[in-house]
Structure 1
Amino acid sequence: MDTYWMYTALGVYLLAMLFLGYVAYKKTSTHEDYMVGGRQLPPLVAALSAGASDMSGWLIMGLPGAIYTTGLIESWIAIGLTIGAFLNWKFVAPRLRAYSQVAKNSITVPSFFENRLKDSSHILRIVSSIIILVFFTLYISSGMVASGVFFESSFNGNYIVGMLIVVSITLLYTFFGGFLGASLTDVAQGLMMMVALGVVPVVGVISIGGIGATTETIRTVASGNLSFIGYNGFTVAVVFSIVSGIAWGLGYFGQPHIVVRFMALRTPAEAKSARRIGMSWMIVSLGCAILSGLVGIAYFSHVHQELPNSETVILRMSQLLLHPFIAGLILAAVLAAIMSTFASQLVVCSSALVEDLYRVIRKKEATQKQLVLLGRLAVLLVALVALLLALNPSGTILQLVSFAWAGFGASFGPITLLSLYWKKLTNWGALAGMLSGAISVFVWDAINSDIYELLPAFLIATLIAVIVSKVTYKEHPEITEEFSAMKDMLAQP
């Protein structure tokens, strides 16, 4: 009977996602509609969509699992992300919305780089697209791994069967609804995630006997669980861990599936209200995710149970503490976190293949109908490759996400910031910085340093981009004119 209620709740959720995908499908007719929703996203949709597509299964599985295993020292990642997200909304969102329109109405990150820097060779656009396909395929694969783990932990189901079910549903609404389909479902999924993250720890605290009993149990399990510097006080390893956690925030400036939401806003001025909505959602959700991991430590100690996979802490608590139908809705929220992210990433990969590779390589212009069809086929292709990688996962969800996050942050983050704020960035400087950022991530990861690879790779990419730009800079009247036009658009109410 319990399984029946949980499957019912899950079925209601999946049908609702398909319905939203259908609504988006009816509103999608042109290539621009499919890729950026016709630049008509209201602030609420843009904010919750950016947050939901950003956090993924990491928010409900990866972060609580890390807190459950190591304690509050893992919360520095959440702190770094909060700072990075605020700076991204404050300094990147309005400028990118304005500049992407001024620069020949660019609708993808690679096309923006090319149009902003007047790269007639198309090399910058092609390399950007390849980087997107490489890192996003790994990122999407992490979402598929999370979906398989979800079904194993929640229903004692088969990893591959569960993964195929989730992938199929996500593909359906993304295939037909494109960017708008991903964005509308993100709103529902983002709200579900926030509610789930709030309900589970509260019920857990009540079952343990209150805040005092919960806190004391957490300390009893391990004295350093409630310390932001861990068990052993300040050491070199702890300093590296804190610096690495905060460095996660640098990744925001280069995430294509997030910054494309900025490009899709109705006006640059609406970035301000979107920032307030998005940051409120993020602070509540991250705070509750951290709390869930801590309460999980106390709860499983209180009931004398082992948790074989720490990343399933919220899944198991919801099943043990809540009515099966409510638990099913919580499980649906976990699924929402997973689906929201890789749906958005599929759309970005589709745009990289069609808008930034196909349309550049094939000189003959395709019709709008043909471009939309190609975009949908590209979604299927990328999903298939990611699925093959997810059949035999080589790391935890957090490990897979952290590597892809670093890859985008180091490759695109410095170039995005320099494009928006420094007129003297050149196409060769951007290309050199982008490649050095991507290569540095792979090299630093191979070194297996205690410092998160994003930080050194970001700094290296920035330095190289600036040096090469200074060497290759020549004044370009059109760039100067567009830079001024971008500032004029920002000044409009």
Structure 2
Amino acid sequence: MNSDQIFHLAAIVVYFVAMLAIGWYAYRHTTSHKDYLLGGRDLSPWAAALSAGAADMSGWLMMGLPGAIYVSGLVEGWIAVGLTVGAWLNWKVVAPRLRAYTEISGDSITIPTFLENRLRDRTHLLRIVTGLVILVFFTFYISSGMVAGGVFFRDSFGSSYLAGMLLVTGVTLAYTLFGGFLGVSLTDVVQGTLMMLALLVVPVIAVVRLGGPGETIARLEQIAPDHLSALGGSALTGAATLTIVSALGWGLGYFGQPHIITRFMAMRDVAQASSARRIGIAWMLLSMGGAVSGGLIGLVWFTETGEPLDDPETVMLAMSRVLLHPIVAGLVLAAVLAAIMSTISSQLIVCSSALVEDLYRIVARRQPPVRRLMALGRGAVLLVAVIAALLALDPQDSILGLVSFAWAGFGAAFGPIVLLALFWRRLTAWGALSGMTVGAVLVFVWSALDTGLYEIIPAFAANLVVAVLVSLATARTRGADRAVIDDEFDRTVAVVHGRSTGRGGAAGDDAGDALAGIPGTASDTAALG
């Protein structure tokens, strides 16, 4: 190991220690099962925004997007456009209602529990199926992140794949296991900030070294003029249109990603959604802009200097090694790890909630004590991590390609149902279950057909249509349930539009006032559910 690698490793050790320290802090402030799975609904706008962003982006932002731009140019940037628009709509449309509705409807702390309470599903079938879908998809999703961590250490430091994978898994597991949702969210704030700074600093220094923005663009126009075209330099053909539509379709996935929308549920109150949206979208625009510009500037840099670049996805890392002091370049490497680990930890918490809150509590004959629920939550995190690590032992069996597939799966299965549950009072449990099933199955079918159109688009549309039609055909909710459903829906609308006060409503009101004295809330509705 040379001196530069020692500096790099020292920076990563500092990063690991910081993550573990935050996890310990969160452990000291986690006293209940609700704290462990949802942070006590006490996230600030900054924490909610940066946590959602860091959980969302994974290593794709640090490596995948710059590499794609390096190879193909701005035509690959349509995914970034689709994701940014989808994230803005998610914060604008879903966040306020989900924050209010999940508290009003039985104080639900997971998406499956919310759907069961909201739709009065006494069979528990909807909650079980939703929990199982989350569990299966995320176990493989987590495994792909562990593989990425192993490959990162192997390629960056020459270590064995297994040692790198186990190290990343161990540190991530430690702060997630003990810190729970709060630990994950607080580490995400640090990780999200680190990712953004790395994506901004490296391109800026490269541009300065290349002679400024004007000179850099002029050189790029000489080297690869098509890279500056949003159509790749070609006419808008049918194939190009299909590619652009598919890329924009990624934005549909946001409405159904459990590890992202749980951040909305964890905010202190509805009024903070606006501030969190502005922070989150600003972070996203800066980070996306840095990733896109990094790919373009990297092409100019490595063409002009003649330095070799074996893997385009390492363009940001390779530039950081050349342009920055080794200890700062080590922090850029840590930012890549941050992107990987923040997503893994968020998904581990969602899997824990699926196992304990959505499956175990259904079969438990009585309400388990708080200490047992917290122990079970940590045990579930450990169990899922072990299974995912076993799947990741052989990198040849990795499913890194499942990242886009899982995004489509979650988005098509859950996205339309979440939107209908929040905005259409006539949705029924059978409508939700039917739509969810059709959406998930069609993702598999459409992917196998290989039509060139991203599978989330037809699957999302089919889910929406089926859920509406089946709901209209099965709208036979009993009178008492109908009255409570309508009451909860109306009170949610009132809270979101500022006509109600308290913890779920306007900022600054005392905790608990939103539901106090209102018939049919929390405990009352739980009894009816």
The TM-score normalised by the length of structure 1 is 0.97
What is the CA deviation profile of residues 198-255 of structure 1, one whole-angstrom value per residue up to 9, with x for unaligned ones?
Answer: 0111122233333344324434443321111114321222111110111111100000
Q: Structure 1 residue 393: deviation in Å?
A: 4.3
Q: Structure 1 residue 404: deviation in Å?
A: 1.0
Which position in structure 2 is the counterpart of 1:478? 484
Contact 2:391 2:397 survives alignment (8 Å): no
Q: 2:172 aligns with which of 170, 173, 181?
A: 170
Identity, in percent, stands at 57
1:489 aligns with 2:495: yes
Which position in structure 1 is the counterpart of 2:12? 10
Q: 2:270 aligns with which of 264, 268, 271?
A: 268
Distance (whole Å) between structure 2 residues aligned to residue 440 and residue 395 of structure 1: 24
What is the CA deviation profile of residues 92-147 of structure 1, one whole-angstrom value per residue up to 9, with x for unaligned ones?
Answer: 00000000001100000100110000000000000001110122122212221221
Which position in structure 2 is the counterpart of 1:189? 191
Q: 2:345 aligns with which of 343, 346, 364?
A: 343
Correspondence 1:370-381 to 2 at 5 A: 370-381=372-383
Return closer, same or farther for 1:237/1:396 CA change in 2, 3 Å cut-off: farther
Q: Structure 1 residue 148: deviation in Å?
A: 1.9
Contact 1:58 1:398 survives alignment (8 Å): no
Return the letter of the residue paired with 2:314. Answer: T
Which position in structure 1 is the counterpart of 2:515? none
Distance (whole Å) between structure 1 residues aligned to residue 28 and residue 263 of structure 2: 20
Q: Structure 1 residue 88: deviation in Å?
A: 0.6
What is the CA deviation profile of residues 156-178 of structure 1, one whole-angstrom value per residue up to 9, with x for unaligned ones?
Answer: 33222111111110000000000
Distance (whole Å) between structure 2 residues aligned to residue 240 and residue 5 of structure 1: 46
Return closer, same or farther for 1:394/1:213 CA change in 2, 3 Å cut-off: farther
Q: 2:295 aligns with which of 293, 296, 314?
A: 293
Return closer, same or farther for 1:397/1:61 CA change in 2, 3 Å cut-off: farther
Contact 1:49 1:190 survives alignment (8 Å): yes
Return closer, same or farther for 1:40/1:225 CA change in 2, 3 Å cut-off: same
Correspondence 1:395-414 to 2 at 5 A: 399-414=401-416
Distance (whole Å) between structure 1 residues aligned to residue 131 and residue 438 of structure 2: 16
Which position in structure 2 is the counterpart of 1:42? 44
Return the letter of the residue paired with 2:212. Answer: G
Distance (whole Å) between structure 2 residues aligned to residue 268 and residue 395 of structure 1: 43
Return the letter of the residue paired with 1:482. Answer: E
Which position in structure 2 is the counterpart of 1:281? 283
Which position in structure 1 is the counterpart of 2:77? 75
1:118 aligns with 2:124: no
Return closer, same or farther for 1:399/1:167 CA change in 2, 3 Å cut-off: same
Unmatched runs of 5 consecutive residues or more in structure 1? none
Return closer, same or farther for 1:397/1:321 CA change in 2, 3 Å cut-off: farther
Structure possessing the higher radius of gyration over alpha carbons: 2
What is the CA deviation profile of residues 235-283 of structure 1, one whole-angstrom value per residue up to 9, with x for unaligned ones?
Answer: 2221111101111111000000111011111111111111111111111
Return closer, same or farther for 1:156/1:219 CA change in 2, 3 Å cut-off: farther
Correspondence 1:76-475 to 2 at 5 A: 76-393=78-395, 399-475=401-477
Aligned residues: 493
Report the more deviating stretch, 154-163 or 444-453: 154-163
Distance (whole Å) between structure 2 residues aligned to residue 62 and residue 56 of structure 1: 10
Report the more deviating stretch, 131-140 or 275-284: 131-140
Q: Structure 1 residue 394: deviation in Å?
A: 5.9
Distance (whole Å) between structure 1 residues aligned to residue 303 and residue 125 of structure 2: 56
Q: Structure 1 residue 398: deviation in Å?
A: 6.8
Return the letter of the residue paired with 1:234. Answer: L
Distance (whole Å) between structure 2 residues aligned to residue 225 and residue 391 of structure 1: 38
What is the CA deviation profile of residues 285-336 of structure 1, one whole-angstrom value per residue up to 9, with x for unaligned ones?
Answer: 1111111111121122122234332222211211122110010011111111
Contact 1:153 1:315 survives alignment (8 Å): no
What is the CA deviation profile of residues 27-50 of structure 1, one whole-angstrom value per residue up to 9, with x for unaligned ones?
Answer: 011100000001111111111111
Return the letter of the residue paired with 1:441. Answer: V
What is the CA deviation profile of residues 429-452 of structure 1, one whole-angstrom value per residue up to 9, with x for unaligned ones?
Answer: 000111111111111111122111
Distance (whole Å) between structure 2 residues aligned to residue 293 and residue 158 of structure 1: 28
Give me the CA root mean square deviation: 1.5
Contact 2:153 2:164 survives alignment (8 Å): yes
Report the more deviating stretch, 389-398 or 88-97: 389-398
What is the CA deviation profile of residues 394-443 of structure 1, one whole-angstrom value per residue up to 9, with x for unaligned ones?
Answer: 69987332111111100110000000000000000000111111111111
Contact 1:146 1:397 survives alignment (8 Å): no
Q: 2:61 aligns with which of 43, 59, 62?
A: 59
Return closer, same or farther for 1:233/1:142 CA change in 2, 3 Å cut-off: farther
Contact 2:143 2:398 survives alignment (8 Å): no
What is the CA deviation profile of residues 441-491 of structure 1, one whole-angstrom value per residue up to 9, with x for unaligned ones?
Answer: 111111122111111110011111111111001251111111112122222
The TM-score normalised by the length of structure 2 is 0.90
Return the letter of the residue paired with 2:241. Answer: V
Distance (whole Å) between structure 2 residues aligned to residue 469 and residue 194 of structure 1: 43
Q: Secondary structure at the match of 1:290?
A: helix
Which position in structure 1 is the counterpart of 2:516? none
Contact 1:414 1:458 survives alignment (8 Å): yes
Distance (whole Å) between structure 1 residues aligned to residue 392 and residue 236 of structure 2: 38
Report the more deviating stretch, 417-426 or 127-136: 127-136
Distance (whole Å) between structure 2 residues aligned to residue 157 and residue 232 of structure 1: 43
Q: Structure 1 residue 4: deviation in Å?
A: 1.5
Return closer, same or farther for 1:397/1:121 CA change in 2, 3 Å cut-off: closer
Return closer, same or farther for 1:421/1:454 CA change in 2, 3 Å cut-off: same
